[in-house]
Amino acid sequence: MSEIIPNVVVSMPSQLFTMARSFKACSNGRIYIGKIDTDPTIPENQIQVYMERENGDLVPAPQPIIINAAGFPVYNGQIAKFVTVEGHSMAVYDSYGTQQHYYPNVLKYDPDRFKEKLAQGNGSGYVGYDGGSIPSKYSSDSTVQGALDRLTERIVYASKYGIKADGVTDDTQALQSLSRAVSAMGYPVIRVVFPQGVSLVGAQDKAPGFGFNYSYRPSYYKDAGNTGWFYVSGRLGKTIIDAYGYTIKLKSMNHGAFDPVNGAIYPSESPFHDSDYMAWVGHCAAFKNCGDVLVLGLETDGSAREHEWGGKYGDSGWQCMGFGIWAAGNQRFKADGVNCHDAVCDGIYISQPSEWEPDGTGYVLLTESDFHNNRRQGITLAAGENIKIKNVRAFNIGRYANNAGVNYSWPESCLDIESEGGKIENVIVEDCQFTNAGGYTYVAYSFNNPVENSQFLRCLFRTNSSIPAQVFSSLPNESFIDCIFEGSGFEFRHTNDGVNRLIRCKFINHISGAVADDCHYGGVIGEMHDCDFEIILNEKVNRIPLQLTAIGGEIHPPTLKSGSFSFNRLHLSGNQDVSPIATDVFYVGHLSFFHNMDLRITTNLTGKAKCAIDTAGSFVNERGVTSDSDIIIDRNRGSSIEIGDNNYMLPRSMVISAEDLSPLVNQKSTLGTNNRRYQSIHMGSGGLHLLDANGGRWSITVSIEGKISVNKH
């Protein structure tokens, strides 16, 4: 039983109990104490009442409590103090048994239990505090607990360092002062609160001449450790950038190749890598070698439309450094609600180091953010582990950025995963939209560093790209689940050391009926299951739409390993006759080396040419390749058989069909029609045995003299 804490006096406001309608003592009356909002005269509703002695001892008292002739409650005839431990109802009756008073709840709180609540670890949350006005997404409640939470983090107001954010004042020096101060702070948690508005920044230093590895560089670069117009560098605690409603905007500067002597535009063409000519504008915000960074609501405007663009620099286009956000070497990095646009290169560039990995705590998280109108890429992942991107939009990239003209750089991708900075592991992309990219909506390469386990869930890829594949990847162990590909197609060049999967995806070669200028679905597939292809054929379709090969398949010698292509559907519409590649037959695609393969084809075609699907080298399962129209033909129906331990296979679709190879005609065999298809082939004691499409059995033997004979059984 918990400790009894008696501290509620059982009485009316004065301890004199009087009648309800006259100021007379309620002599010889009765007092009943019960549970809140109940009738205390009923025994099961009553609670324990105690009589408190002068020394503090408690004696359980029976009910009802008697009122003496003077109107005071008594115990054994003596006026006494009665207490209980909680709020209660109270009914007072006179000597005739008439109710004089009823109180449903004498107290509105239970003092003993409230004391226990205050003693708990979160008890300070029950005490009010005038000081909860700090603009914060976290710990902003106006209680003592909220105040204690805020005491654990150092609040830094950017305005105290001279930042005006009025869209007119140059805040370059103020931001640099703030950056140096924050980077040097040793507090466990720092929250940097920015004012709402726009900070203008930007100035460049010109090189004295050749030999300095730049022609123009950001003015902040001359100070050691400075990595951006605003930066936090080397802080191992948690740093919160509270920047809702705040924008860092670059002023007009030089970008590209410029002469380091006279400062004029240098008319270079790609590729060009002489660093003495490089002019770069810098990064709006940079976070380098920090422990834990959280960026909230920051907007960066790289002003790509306002800069002076010089000659080309880099592999392609103008690949001089200039990011909205640069995050490198941080143990943890999260950005929520950020908006990075109009960067001369990338909206955000993330490179987390491998040395953080042993503790298993490193991560990158991008949520509820936009990356758009950037001239090279929306998002770049160059190194890191445990990366999650959720509810993010990247759009209008490269040539499709506002007012880009010819000033953009390859690969013009919404999302780029390239392990140039270290290995990349465990990437999850959920509910994102990657649209309107001049090159790729998504591109991925594995350099000398591995990229392992990436997964896309419920994502949209949509663009009319300058190339046939808007999604290009060479990564193993990659999954696309419930994704939509609109416009241009895909190309997967996976190696055989992993399996990529496409599950319940939809592939559409048009955007609202407008066929993409170039579209192709090709590459190596580990598993494609329950997917839909919707292809409109017209004069823009200048290549075979489908060219898919199972992962692990080899052509020389022919083998079949693990690829699966099942329960997929293809819908063809439009006019196949007007395609540049159409003759009497239009090739829809090649599906090769799948060990489990079937396809359902539906049509709404207006052309006359036959549409062929080639399944050579694949095991077509019992569901088969089916169509609702005889305009579809399977050029190699039922197409493979495994032989031997090495998993070698031979094509079943033997185009040769003969009733007899003799007599010879003009020293050539009479082979009969060439559209008969063999369905089975095996080696027997009498030679090579075959079964044709009509169930006929054949054997082929070679005599000692080298003559071939074909016999029907």
What pLDDT score was predicted for residue 294?
A: 97
Above 70 in pLDDT, residue 11?
Answer: no
Mean pLDDT of the region 72-80: 88
Query: Is the pLDDT at 479 greater than 60, yes or no?
Result: yes
pLDDT of residue 148: 59
Looking at residue 644, what is its pLDDT?
37
Which one of 130, 148, 166 terminates a domain?
148
DSSP calls for 78-134: EE-EEEESS--EEEEE-TTS-EEEEES-S-SS-HHHHHHHHHSTTGGGGSB-S----
Mean pLDDT: which of 290-294, 445-449, 581-585, 612-616 is highest? 290-294
Q: What is the pLDDT of residue 129?
A: 52
675 versus 333: which is more confidently predicted?
333
The reply to whether 702 and 646 lie within a common domain is: no
Q: Whole-model pTM?
A: 0.70
Give yes or no for residue 5 having a pLDDT over 90: no
Whether residue 620 has pLDDT greater than 60: yes
Q: Given this model, what pLDDT does residue 710 score?
A: 81
Q: What is the pLDDT of residue 707?
A: 78
pLDDT, residue 121, reads 65
pLDDT at residue 264 greater than cutoff 50? yes
- Domain assignment present for residue 341? The answer is yes
User: Which range has the worst mean pLDDT, 145-159, 188-202, 425-439?
Assistant: 145-159
Residue 356 has pLDDT above 80, yes or no: no
pLDDT of residue 70: 86
**How high is the pLDDT of residue 676?**
35
For residue 440, tell me if it sits in a domain.
Answer: no
Q: Is the pLDDT of residue 496 over 70?
A: no
pLDDT given for residue 344 in this prediction: 98
- Specify the higher pLDDT residue, 252 or 613: 252
- SS3 string, 272-338, reads ECCHHHEECCCCCEEEECCCEEEEECCEEECCCCCCEECECEECCCECCCCCCEEEECCCEEEEECC
Supply the pLDDT for residue 54. 81
Q: How high is the pLDDT of residue 633? A: 81
Quickly state the pLDDT bin for 379 (edges 50, 70, 90): very high
Q: How far apart are CA 696 and CA 270, in angstroms?
A: 64
pLDDT band at 52 (very low <50, low <70, confident <90, very high): confident
Confidence of residue 679 (pLDDT cuts 50, 70, 90): very low
Per-residue model confidence (pLDDT) at position 217: 96
Report which of 131, 124, 243 is spatially closest to residue 178, judged by C-alpha positions.
Answer: 243
DSSP 379-443: EEEEEEEEEEEES-EEEEEGGGSTT-TT---TT-EEEEEE-SSS-EEEEEEES-EEEEESS-SEE
For residue 212, being part of any structural domain is answered with no
Higher pLDDT, 702 or 679: 702
Please report whether residue 438 resides in a domain: no
pLDDT digits (tens, 9 = 90+) for 636-660: 544 433 333 433 333 333 333 333 3
**Band (146; pLDDT cuts 50, 70, 90):** low
End-to-end C-alpha distance for the chain, whole angstroms = 96
Q: What is the model's pLDDT at position 21?
A: 81
Same domain, 664 and 640: no
The residue-averaged pLDDT of 672-693 equals 50
Provide the edge-to-edge strand list for the sheet that holds 278-279.
204-206, 216-218, 278-279, 254-257, 308-309
Residues 481 and 582 in one domain: yes
Residue 248's contacts (CB-CB under 8 Å, 6 or more residues apart) are 175, 199, 201, 229, 230, 284, 285, 298, 299, 300, 301
Residues 668 and 637 in one domain: no
Number of separate domains in the chain: 5
Q: Which of 138-147, 260-269, 514-523, 599-608 has the lowest mean pLDDT?
A: 138-147
**Are 157 and 143 in the same domain?**
no
More confident residue, 100 or 554: 100
**CA-closest candidate to residue 278, choices 256, 302, 252, 307:** 256
**Angle at 470 (CA atoms; ends 468, 471), nearest 5 degrees:** 120
pLDDT at 128 over 60: yes
- The residue among 609, 627, 653 that closes a domain is 653
Residue 488 has pLDDT above 70, yes or no: yes
**Domain ends where: 653, 672, 688?**
653
Report yes or no: 628 and 603 within 8 Å, Cβ to Cβ. yes
Q: Are residues 164 and 125 in the same domain?
A: no
Closest listed residue to residue 346, CA positions, set 365, 320, 369, 368: 320
> Does residue 308 surpass a pLDDT of 60?
yes
Which band of pLDDT confidence, cut at 50, 70 and 90, is reported for residue 57? confident
Whether the pLDDT of residue 15 is over 80: the answer is no
Given a cut of 60, whether residue 666 has pLDDT beyond it is: no
Going by pLDDT thresholds of 50, 70 and 90, the confidence category of residue 632 is confident
Mean pLDDT of 232-253: 96
Do residues 562 and 665 share a domain?
Answer: no
pLDDT average, residue stretch 586-602:
87
Q: Residue 108 is part of a domain; what is its CATH number?
A: 2.170.14.10
Mean pLDDT value of segment 431-450: 92
User: What is the per-residue pLDDT for 396?
Assistant: 98
Asked whether residue 1 is domain-assigned, the answer is: no
Count Cα atoms within 13 angstroms, Cβ side, for 201. Answer: 30
pLDDT at 626: 85
- For residues 146-151, average pLDDT: 59
State residue 179's pLDDT score: 96
Rounded to the nearest integer, the mean pLDDT of the chain is 84
645 part of a folded domain: yes
Q: Is the peptide bond before 663 cis (omega within 30 degrees of 0)?
A: yes
Position 654 scores a pLDDT of: 32
393's tokens: 């939009």
Domain extent for 130 = 120-148
pLDDT at 114 over 70: no
Mean pLDDT of the region 300-315 = 97
Whether residue 649 is contained in a domain is answered as yes
Encode pLDDT of 600-618 as tens digits: 999 999 999 999 888 876 7
In a shared domain, residues 512 and 635:
yes
For the chain, give the percent of residues with pLDDT over 90. 56
Most confident listed range (146-160, 349-363, 583-597): 583-597
CB-side exposure of 77: number of CA atoms within 13 Å?
0
Evaluate whether 565 touches 596 at the Cβ level (below 8 Å): yes
Phi and psi, residue 258, nearest 5°: -135, 150
On whether both 558 and 666 belong to a single domain, the answer is no
pLDDT for position 489: 94
Percent above pLDDT 70 for the chain:
79
Whether residue 479 sits in one domain with residue 367 = no
- Are residue 563 and residue 614 in the same domain, yes or no? yes
Asked if residue 649 and residue 609 are part of one domain, the reply reads yes
Residue 447 counted as domain residue: no
